[in-house]
Structure 1
Amino acid sequence: MKITLKDGSVKEYESALSVYDIAMDISEGLARAACCGKVDGRVVDLRTVVDGDCELSICTANDAEGLSTIRHTASHVLAEAVKNLFPQVKLAIGPSIDTGFYYDFDHEPFSREDLDAIEAQMKKIIKQGAKLERFTLPRDEAVRFMEDRGEPYKVELIRDLPEDAEISFYRQGDFVDLCAGPHLMSTKGVKAFKLISSSMAYWRGDSDRARLQRIYGTAYNKKEELAAHLERMEDAKRRDHNRLGREMELFTTVDVIGQGLPLLTPKGTKMVMKLQRWIEDLEDKEWGYVRTKTPLMAKSDLYRISGHWDHYKEGMFVLGDEEKDKEVFALRPMTCPFQYYVFKNSQKSYRDLPCRYGETSTLFRNEDSGEMHGLTRVRQFTISEGHLIVRPDQMVEEFKGCIALAQYCLQTLGLEEDVTYHLSKWDPENREKYIGEPEVWEETEGHIRQVLGELGIPFTEDVGEAAFYGPKVDINARNVYGKEDTMITIQWDALLAEQFDMYYIDENGDKVRPYIIHRTSIGCYERTLAWLIEKYAGKFPTWLCPEQVRVLPISEKYEAYAAKVLKELKAKDIDATVDNRSEKIGFKIREARLDRVPYMLVVGQQEEEEGLVSVRSRFAGDEGQKPLAAFLDQICEEIRTKEIRKEEIQENAKA
């Protein structure tokens, strides 16, 4: 057989060999470093036997697949350690993830002391260096095997597999786990690891199922890599919007109000108002949008027409009982069907298109309680929503325009380098989730693929992530912990105009169905605020800050001049305050710096006599005395241009 290696060279063998044996034949050093293999692009265990011509890559810890294998093995070591210390525990699942690994256990909550003890036990297991051995059983035998070991969650997983399936297990010493692999050859391959935290998780993500305890950890090939990761984790905690946003008094949550229903405080509200006013003016004055204002709820009839009742009802807040009430309402999870009726309010000709409707929409989605997190995953949120009703011949250019608008918003906020683009496609194997014929989906996905290609935007394709009525471009970003969320969506819809009987009159006087683009320009304001908090660690660009200037009189004798300075600042629409507390000026400056205020204006006798202000900034420290008029010109220009201090971002990243 001929084995084509990653560098293009070809090895020939007379008989079948395992991936590990082939690695050993290439180089003993490569075999020692090997974690898994890829046969014709498919990730496989080192124990996998290769018996025919193929392309083979040997993956080490320097490859994503190899690092994932190290982490997967670490999760098994974790499970063994927990079973050793807590024999009554029941095992659930334990995969590797982008940032490390986790394992779910049916057990009472783990304390930090428990995690430390588990870590110590893991080190013992790793030092013993047990080999990992793979074996398989027929499904019925596999069920009995796990029943005998008292593992009900494993039994459930096995029973969900086909009856003729051959079930694989991995043994390391006396510990055995149900697993498809791949794994390292020995536990000694786990060289640097750390248990990070524990939290509650539902079995199979279902809030109606058992509450389990999830232990998170991470693993690397070298201690230096682990140390760097832990340092990044500390920085993530420092930037975590859920902590920092509360510390800065931007938002809060209250149990009696409900999970996923954050309260924006005056400071947080001020920031969202600035974003909202900017986006509305940008869309209306420069991109040709017109505003609509539509209800927060509608009868179920509307959602039946759109298809949301059949495809999205579980994610909606329904008001009423279909069996008892004459009319059942639901809070809106989106604005599109409402804006369709704005379009239908008057007859349109081909000359009236495109119609670009924009709305600052408050939406409601019945997210699972386990998914709630700060401002990124909430049940009520506000979005820069828009729908473009266009002629088919306008669709491509308008779609490109929506991408350009989104990119402009990202660039202005300094976020353009933090995103990835995704073509979210339908899943032809799950037809019940979608409306429309395969030909329509293939055509629309092809159009989006071509648009992204023409714009030179790198993207990945995600099967099964489309909305039920059309494919979309999702612009995603990761939070400080590496979790990916969709920030902006632009969707191609060739189907719903038919369901709502939408049409325009073409040049021949015929009725023609339009196409629709569903889009956001900045996405959800709450999620964007969370993103900005984490990006800037609370040190926002001046134009976005809820407090842009703080005036600091040296003593009460200069409060009148401080009030005069404040009046002139406010006359220029600058968000400013005065600190009139009877504290020393050094203390006031430190407080302002801790509050991340961009500018402090210290005023005393000389400043009052000569119409000056002593400027201290978050960016440059002591900037010296300036005429008040000169400072006003400076900060107004900074706010007008929405300047981003790149040097401060870089300095903050090093901190």
Structure 2
Amino acid sequence: MSEMFKISLPDGSVREMPQGSTPADVAAAIGPGLAKAAMAARIDGELVDLSMPFTGDAALALVTSRDEADALELARHDFAHILAEAVQALFPGTQITFGPSTDDGFYYDFAPRDRPFTEEDLPAIEAEMRRIIAADKPLRREVWDREQLVSRWKQQGETFKAEWAAQLPGDEPLTVYWSGDDWLDMCRGPHMPSTGKLDPAAFKLTRVSGAYWRGDQNNAMLSRIYGTGWLNKKQLSAHLTRLEEAAKRDHRRLGAEMDLFHLQAEAHGSVFWHPKGYMIWRELEAYMRRAIDDAGYREVKTPQVMDARQWEQSGHWGKYRENMFVIPDEVPNVEDEGPIVSDDAQWMALKPMNCPAHVLIFRQGIKSYRDLPLRLYENGCCHRNEPHGALHGLMRVRQFTQDDAHIFCREDQIVAEVRAFCELADRIYKDFGFTYSIKLALRPEKRFGTDAMWDMAENELRNAVVEAGLATPEYGWEELPGEGAFYAPKLEWHLTDAIGRTWQVGTIQSDRVLPERLDASYVGEDGARHRPVMLHRAIFGSYERFIGILIEHFAGRLPAWLAPVQAVVATIVSDADAYGAQVAAKLRSAGVRVETDMRNEKINYKVREHSLQKVPYLLVVGKREAEEGTVALRTLGAEHQKMMSLDDAIALLTAETAAPDLRP
């Protein structure tokens, strides 16, 4: 008689199954409905195929479409494999490489035999994918000897797969998945039992781009095909609607339409701010200064270029060098012979972050325990050498300005300081209408400092959020193992925008490493020298990215206090021009950012044009308004105008365009 295993189910029941049984057998034993709905399983918490045999007593959870996170990951992984199979069926000689799932779909990289793929190829590939799904081909896992698999890939002309299989770390066998009996791919898995588990109406191929093999620009250029994949047609339709809405809100398009900024190759990765866009910046900067002044910060300004030896001491040179812009500190005479930069040149670097410079300010003069906490703030301009392909409008740039601050404090002050920061961030994000979640990013594998230091830092951040009442499901509290910085754990604020997207912006980190490396100290109550703890914190993250998020969140219709032009006075007839100028002058004196439109155009044309420019208020004046001292006030998005006296209009706009009051 075969050995029996005890299989514990989520409802607390236990089933005895014979050796060799699989999760699929358990599902079938429970009932045909579950057997049909099951996609995969978790055995002792590990996601596996339904065909994975039990090796002993185990806890089992069967995965169905109700387990959306796991189900979507499985579906997208399967869609990627089916995409690769479809491409090779339609374009013989194409080599396959990698095909992972993504946050909203999947992609696969190919080495075409004849030409790069284009978006014109996508409809035919989609049709072939649906044929494979309809065929309900079983997806079967096998374990292969590494040398055997490398040999097969080479025989089939799959040079990229052969290279990858040969270079994978370790010497254990490799797994492959068959689709039916005629196509396979190397994969760790898991997968659903068959292609027919997928909904053929729940995916769409979206675009084609170039991608370098293994992300290295020195390697071969491949064709990458992207798709979005879901569990059903309803989810796909909702996603495509979100994409359409996101396209309407794209900050790059709106930035051009509203004349806010532009980017161009002459300063790749940096922003040219136009007057209207820079007005938004100035308002945000003034707002943040009010916030940090009220919170007891002291604003500083530090150099853009610092000696490489400073970055070596801080640890950034060794761990961040490839992302830094470096220059020799002595530029040779162009008429000199020999190399442009000698081997013994001293190097300088544009700062990628502000923290080492703030430590140098802290070190000026002797600090006492009574001086702490010391909160140093800087609107700090930084430069990071981001890859060309990673740059994206305002969201990812090479030159950016952080609302950066560092709090130097004693051990007994940490929790209170972090809690105060949490409360400040809460007020600021709510001023902009955002909801948010908070995550605690824990120690990474490669890090500075001892485990004891990391234990203290993680507990301090955790305790501060608990004391602030924010470590709750309402605020999406979650801990993220391995995602901290190399020198400190961090709290992260993830904003949710108007169409449900999340953006990671604010952070605070509890750091004991940098003060040690840069020899920061203060004199304690006992007369001895002690290391301060350094809290790195930002709320906007960077002005560039935060402005981009705001533009998309509000679809360009910024709150009136942030709008670069808050009101336009538009005349109906030239006889009202003098009165229009008078109205604008009075609004300007009241602190409203106002322009006039006295062009010889129809008023409907003017209304439409300023609506496209997202101007919050339009004051229409004609001959009658001039005689009566009134205005016709139109609010952006409203269908009708409202007649009121000029004084009432000025009072209304003054109140509506006032910046938020930051007092608690």
TM-score, L = length of structure 2: 0.92
Residue 507 of structure 2 is aligned to residue 489 of structure 1: yes
In the TM superposition, residue 9 of structure 1 has moved relative to its aligned partner by 2.5
Q: Quickly say closer, same or farther: Cα 1:336–1:511, change in 2 above 3 A.
A: same
Aligned pairs for 1:113-152 (under 5 A) are 113-152=120-159
Contact 1:207 1:369 in 2 (8 A): no
Note if contact 2:71-2:231 (Cα within 8 Å) is conserved in structure 1: no
Answer yes or no: is 1:476 the counterpart of 2:476: no
Post-superposition CA distance 1:427-458 (Å, at most 9, x none): 24x3xxx2222221122112222222333324
Q: Which amino acid aligns with 1:399?
A: V
- Secondary structure of 1:278's partner? helix
Contact 1:406 1:521 in 2 (8 A): yes
Residue matched to 2:334: none
Question: Pairwise mapping of residues 65-464 of structure 1 onto structure 2 (< 5 A)?
Answer: 65-107=70-112, 108-173=115-180, 174-191=182-199, 192=201, 193-258=203-268, 260-284=269-293, 286-320=294-328, 324=343, 326-415=345-434, 417=435, 419-428=436-445, 430=446, 434-455=447-468, 456-457=470-471, 458-464=476-482
Match of 1:647 in 2: none
Structure 2 matches for 1:557-576, cutoff 5 A? 557-576=575-594
Q: Give the direction of change, closer, same or farther, for the CA distance of 1:326–1:216 in structure 2 (3 Å limit).
A: closer
Amino acid at match of 2:454: W
Amino acid at match of 2:302: T
CA shift for structure 1 position 568: 1.2
Shift of 1:325: 5.0
Provide the identity percentage: 40
Residue in structure 1 matched with residue 57 of structure 2 by the alignment: 53
Distance 1:401 1:226, change over 3 A: same
* Cα separation, 2, equivalents of 1:477 and 1:465: 18
Q: Secondary structure at the match of 1:464?
A: coil
Is the Cα contact below 8 Å between 2:444 and 2:485 reproduced in 1?
no
SS at 2:486's partner residue?
A: coil
> SS in structure 2 opposite 1:375?
coil
Mapped to 1, the partners of 2:500 and 2:616 lie a distance apart of 29
CA distance in 1, matches of 2:117, 2:245: 24
Which range is displaced more, 477-486 or 580-589?
A: 477-486
Distance verdict in 2 for CA 1:609–1:313, change over 3 Å: same
> Partners in 2 of 1:572 and 1:145 — Cα distance?
78
Matched to 1:332, the amino acid is: K
**SS of the residue 2:267 aligns to:** coil
Number of equivalenced pairs: 635
Separation (CA, whole Å) in 1 of partners of 2:231 and 2:71: 10
Quote the residue 2:532 is aligned against.
514
3-state secondary structure, aligned to 1:404: helix
Structure 2 residue aligned with 1:648? none
Task: Provide the C-alpha distance between the structure 1 equivalents of 2:499 and 2:102, rounded to a whole number of angstroms.
Answer: 12
Cα shift at 1:581: 1.7
1:62 aligns with 2:66: yes
Q: Does 1:37 align with 2:41?
A: yes
In structure 2, the CA distance between the partners of 1:272 and 1:325, relative to structure 1 (3 Å rule), is farther
Q: CA deviation at 1:531?
A: 0.8
Q: Is the 8 A contact 1:542 1:642 kept in 2?
A: no
Report if the CA contact (8 A) 2:415-2:463 is conserved.
Answer: no
Following superposition, the deviation at residue 255 of structure 1 comes to 1.5
> 1:38–1:44: 8 Å Cα contact kept in structure 2?
yes
Distance in 2 of aligned mates of 1:76 and 1:353: 58
Greater CA deviation, 246-255 or 449-458?
449-458
- Please report how far the alpha carbon of residue 289 of structure 1 lies from its aligned counterpart in structure 2 after TM superposition: 0.8
* Stretch moving more, 68-77 or 372-381: 68-77
Amino acid of the structure 2 residue aligned with 1:368? P
Q: TM-score scaled to structure 1, two decimals?
A: 0.93
Q: Residues 453 and 49 from structure 1, CA distance in 2 versus in 1: closer, same or farther, beyond 3 angstroms?
A: farther
What is the rounded CA distance, in whole Å, between the counterparts of 1:175 and 1:264 in structure 2?
A: 53
CA displacement, residues 330-381 of structure 1 (integer Å, 9 cap, x when unaligned): 0001111112222222222222111111111100011122211111111000
Task: Write the letter of the residue equivalent to 1:424.
Answer: A
SS of 1:180 mapped into structure 2: coil
Per-residue CA deviation, residues 226-252 of structure 1 (Å, 9 max, x unaligned), is 222211221121122233323332221
Q: Deviations over 1:542-596 (max 9, x none)?
A: 1111111111100111111111111111112211111122111111111111221
In 2, distance between residues paired with 1:68 and 1:590?
45
The 2-side partners of 1:228 and 1:335 are apart by: 42
State the Cα distance separating 1:209 from its structure 2 match. Answer: 3.0
Where 2:109 maps in the other structure, the secondary structure is strand
Aligned-pair distance for 1:214? 1.7
Distance in 1 between residues matched to 2:75 and 2:374, nearest whole Å: 54
* Alpha-carbon offset, residue 528 of structure 1: 0.3
Separation of aligned partners in 1, 2:140 and 2:537: 51
SS in 2 for 1:97: coil
Unaligned runs of 5+ in 1: 644-655
SS in 1 for 2:576: helix
Deviation (angstroms), 1:111: 2.2
- After superposition, the C-alpha distances for 1:167-201 in whole angstroms (9 at most, x for unaligned) are 11111132211111121222222212111112222
